[in-house]
Structures are given as C-alpha cells and as structure tokens.
Structure 1
C-alpha cells in the first residue's frame, strides 16, 4: 500500500464459479477498471466444512437450496495450477494478486509456493488462532477483516499474529504467550509494519444501517493501525464514504453479472459500476488534500474578482471629510479592505476620487 493512496481491491472471491476462464475475465476487468489488486478465496471444501454443513440464508437464496455448503464449495474451488495461471496474468497486467486462505494447507500454498505479497484473513477466521499464527510465521503482511468482531476479538487476533511474527517456531502458542507478544515492543512494531484492519459487516448484501462506518475510527484509535473497509453493501456509496473517512483500503466484490448464480454475485458490482467506484474513490482521495485551511492556489485570482474593496460612492474632493455617503463596498477585490470602513469615517480624503474609483 502507498501512503496517502487508497488501495482498491477487486474481490473476485468465488465469483469465477469454479471456472479459470471466468476468473481471468474478472482479472482483466479489474485491471481495466484501475483496481490495485484482485483477491481470490483459496480453499479445499473438505478442509473447510463438514459434508452436512448447511448454507447461510443468503447462499440458499442465490444457489441451489437443496445442496449442502460442502457441495457448493466443491464447485467453487480453484486448483494450484489455476492459481499459478492467475498469478502470471496479474503480473502481465501489473495488478497485485491477493487471496484469502481458509485452511492451513492453502495458506502454505499462497505464502510459500506462490509467494504472494500479502494475505487477507476473512472475518470468519478472525478467531482461527492456528491460521493466524501460521500467517504470522510466514512474515507476510496481513489484511484482517473484523466482521462479527468486538474490540476484544480483534485484540486476540492481533495477539496471535504478533506471536507468529516475533516468536521462534519452537515457542508454544497459548493465550498467555500471545498476550506477551502483543504487549512487547517488537510485537507492536511487527503489527504496525504488517497489519491493516478492515471494518466489515458479515452479511451479503449488508443493509446500510448495519455498516457503522464510524467503527473505522474506533479501530484506528484502539490499535493505531491502518484501517479500511471490506464493503458488502449494494452500490458504491458506502465505499466512497469510507474513502472520505480516510480508509487505507477498500475491498469490493466484482462480478461480470450480478444476476449470475452463485453466493456472492448479488452483493457485487458489475464492471461499469466497479469502474465508477474506482473513479469516485480517486476523486475523493484527491479532494481530501491537506488539513490546513488556507486558500487553494486556484483561488488567488478568483479572490480579486469576487471579494470586495472600499470604493468611492460619489466624486470626492481632496481634503473632504469622509462620511457613509462617500463610501461603498463593491467588487473587485485587491483594494482597501472593507474592514477599514470605520477607520475612514471622519477622516479627510488624501486626494480626489472619481465615483467607483478604488480608495487607497
């Protein structure tokens, strides 16, 4: 991530529907839209869910209600070879590839085999201590989603990451050792250098009144880390608002068609909407500027036109005593400030003026 620039992540997730060709199309769309990164979800269904696990309500509404979550996820897997092909494509298009691992083996593949630059942790795994420790031990930067979390949950997750980042492999993980790592100077430094927190609401699509964007400020104040938004709302308004609140990262699902069958298409943006999101965020980013309240360079010439000066309301003779009848406040600016109005009253004019002439 570049300081002062919002990192925009196009969340492909499982919107490829298990097709490498569709995944490649989504990568092209993301790169064309100006996204900084694309993100996948990397898993094996048999390591993620039991064969009897039910689907979430939003999944039942957007996929075959009769199949299990396991069967759905099996259809949405990408192979190691698929990941390699997508990584090559991303390098060719100069867009970063990220992914969210949902099991230890997938995490190892992403960090060791593919060597991705950063890893995303899903909100569902914010309490998955073994995964967090392994990711910390990889040394990779982490984007940690915090949906469903309290501040205490986030602190525990950060403690596990701090342990992984700073403790030798032989160290035994435990809540106590996690806390020691979190409170240590070296642990805090590791987190500051590598972790970004993403505020999120785990619902697809998420209702606007469930987002609580102000919680981004709470996360920032509590942990002193960069904060962004993983946005699951419909449309682009919330993501734009997050950029205006200083989000370091904005993640948004991308699809080719919101009407496609699949669990996440409905909460995603189609290509044109995603391009508009990127354009709007960049405009907001440029508009944030500085906290100093000073005139912009472009305002200097305008000030001369739209501000006012003290003007002779009528012809004035040299030595004439100035009254309210002699003074007017009119454009252009650049002359004697209207704040000097009362200072001139009762004084004698130093020279003669014609009506509408700037006073000195």
Structure 2
C-alpha cells in the first residue's frame, strides 16, 4: 500500500492549533461512496524544523521582506514567526500519534536534533536543498531513524553520496523523486524518473514528492510504482503563506487519497482474468447460438438456421459443431437460444 504523507510544512502559519486542525483533516476517514467502501486514509503528517542560527546569512536574515505573504518586516522575522519550538512540535507529535498517524520531521540543521530529547519521529526527511549538506546527513544517519531522501535539486552523483553516508549507519532509506519548482510545470515533472530510480536503487523504497497543482500527477506516480507520495496540505489555499496555493485543501486531500487507494485496488496482477463480478454481465450480454427462423422438431440444423443473440448462457459460435448436423428434439421458435438439451 502506498505510504501517503501529508506535508504540513509551514502551512500552520506558526499556530499549534492550526497544525492540529490539519492533523484532523489528514486523519479523517476516506470512503468510496459509489461502492460503499472504506479506504485507508493518509499514513503520516510531516513538519519542518529550522534552527535559524544555522539557516541564513546575516544579509538574508536582515533583508526587508515586503511580500504579501510576509509575517515580519525582515525575512528573518518572517522565518522566526513560522517556527514552532521543540515543545510545540512534541505537542503536535502526541496529537498525531493519538490519531494513529505516523509523524515525520524534516530537520534543517544539526541543532534541530535537540528535539530528539523529547521524542523520536517515525521517520526523518532530508529536504531537497540539504541532500548535499553532508554534516547534517551524517548527524541524521547516526540517529538510526529511517530516512527519506528528497532529490528535488540533485542528480545521481549527489544522491549516491547521500546514500553512501546514510547506509554506513543503516539501510532503512527511502528516495523520493522531486522537482523543486513551486508549482512544478507538468513538462518538468518527468515521472519516468520513478521507474529509473526503481531500477537503479532496487534495495530502497522509491516514492514521489509532488509540487504540481492538483492530484493527477501523484495518482499517476502510484501507477508508475511510487510507494510513497508526499503532498503539501492546507485548510484553505487562499490563506496567507507562500506554500498555501500549491497545496491541497480539504476536498483535494480527500480526493487524492481516495483516488490513490482506488488505483491501488485497480492495478491488480500481470495476467488476463475474468473476474467474478463480470460473470453476471457475461452471462447477460455475451452471444449464444440462436435460431434465425422457426425450426420444426426433427429438422437437421444447418448454419443457415442459426445466428447469434444474447444471453450468453448457451453454445458459443466456436462450438457450433455441437449443434450443426443434429436434429431438433422439439419445435424451436425463431430468435430463441438453442441449448444442447434442445437437440439430439
């Protein structure tokens, strides 16, 4: 089953209560109403933790930030406003676990690992920009917590180095195809990278972190074999914040999870089969040999006497030799199925 991650990221806008509401949305039941079938909901939510002392240059921190999405006069103030402290992350962690969801953290600096004194996330995520942050990779790997590597800004060389570092500590590694363009243009997605990663790294779980608008691309990624799907979620795409418009809101979250789960059911096996559900339809609609005229008892049946009609519970054309040249045991009206019990 596809492991679906609802990425809250900074869409909590600095509010624990808003964060909990997003956890509520992620954990709500998913049902296919047409077939009255309960489906598995989102598996995990993800938060991001930054250590601003290890985040930006002084000039970046002090730069005036006049964006409509700004929560501060400078970019540093903006970033500080969006940060939840360790205790707040722990509060959301406990709330998430009570909802029976996994909790994933993206640590953006070594200093963020102080949070591990409070709790241990189910997985750690390495952001695309930090795949080349080798000191951070070493520190994360040493925790022995399962790691998800995102490839949005890197090629194979950078990924191989990251895998080499982490694998010295453990092999519980997942790799997400990703494009760090917000939102990602469809011509830049290159979903076939998923197939490439599955061939090149068969030891690891391969998935997809999506930044496109809508749900068609993550659903398609599952068809191509993605075992993890990560998608930004929000309560309202019109909320203030740089990631809100590229995220899925409540209805979109529901539809994406529903469609992914239905695709999982639909993929099936590499074989041709007539499923049980088709047998009734086959019996009703397929063709059987029938009379094309009134046939008298004792008449010898020829091909001129027959054609094909529904239902499909009689003799098929390929088996017409079972009927041709035989005598009718009774009168057979025009346009009726000729069953084996009707002939000698």
**In which range does the TM-score fall when normalised by the shorter chain?**
0.7 to 0.9
Return the offset for 1:146. Answer: 1.0
1:212 matched to 2:194? The reply is no
- 1:349 maps to 326
Q: Does structure 2 retain, via aligned residues, the 8 Å contact 1:12–1:23?
A: yes
Q: Map residues 38-57 of structure 1 onto 2, 5 A cutoff.
A: 38-53=45-60
Cα separation, partners in 2 of 1:352 and 1:231, compared to 1, 3 Å: same
Query: Quick one: which of 141, 148, 161 aligns to 1:136?
Result: 141
1:195 matched to 2:173? The reply is yes
Return the offset for 1:92. Answer: 1.8
CA distance in 1, matches of 2:51, 2:61: 17
User: Deviating runs (4+, > 6 A) in structure 1?
Assistant: none
Return the offset for 1:338. Answer: 1.3
Query: Quick one: which of 75, 98, 101 aligns to 2:107?
Result: 101
Aligned residues: 323
Return the offset for 1:290. Answer: 2.4
- 1:262 maps to 241
- 1:290 maps to 269
- 1:26 maps to 22
Find the residue that maps to 1:84 and give its secondary structure: helix
CA distance in 1, matches of 2:43, 2:72: 38
Cα separation, partners in 2 of 1:210 and 1:86, compared to 1, 3 Å: same
- 1:9 maps to 5
Q: Does structure 1 retain, via aligned residues, the 8 Å contact 2:300–2:327?
A: no
Cα separation, partners in 2 of 1:203 and 1:318, compared to 1, 3 Å: same
Query: Which residues of structure 2 form unaligned runs of 5+?
Result: 30-40
CA distance in 2, matches of 1:92, 1:66: 34
Query: Quick one: which of 247, 259, 274 aligns to 2:226?
Result: 247
Bigger mean CA deviation after superposition, 348-357 or 287-296: 348-357
Q: Does structure 2 retain, via aligned residues, the 8 Å contact 1:198–1:227?
A: yes
- 1:182 maps to none
Return the offset for 1:252. Answer: 1.0
Find the residue that maps to 2:176 and give its secondary structure: strand
Query: Quick one: which of 135, 145, 152 aligns to 1:147?
Result: 152
1:35 matched to 2:42? The reply is yes
Q: Map residues 139-178 of structure 1 onto 2, 5 A cutoff.
A: 139-165=144-170
1:311 matched to 2:290? The reply is yes
- Please report the RMSD computed on the Cα atoms of aligned residues, expressed in angstroms: 2.4
The Cα offsets for residues 232-270 of structure 1, whole Å up to 9 and x where unpaired, read as 111212122222323211111111222222221121112
1:231 matched to 2:236? The reply is no
Structure number with higher helix proportion: 1
Give the alignment's TM-score, normalised by structure 2.
0.86
CA distance in 1, matches of 2:129, 2:106: 11
CA distance in 1, matches of 2:163, 2:46: 22
- 1:222 maps to 200
CA distance in 2, matches of 1:141, 1:233: 26
1:89 matched to 2:66? The reply is no
Return the offset for 1:12. Answer: 0.5
CA distance in 2, matches of 1:130, 1:99: 18
Give the alignment's TM-score, normalised by structure 1.
0.82
Q: Does structure 2 retain, via aligned residues, the 8 Å contact 1:317–1:349?
A: no
Q: Does structure 2 retain, via aligned residues, the 8 Å contact 1:142–1:196?
A: yes
Bigger mean CA deviation after superposition, 273-282 or 119-128: 273-282
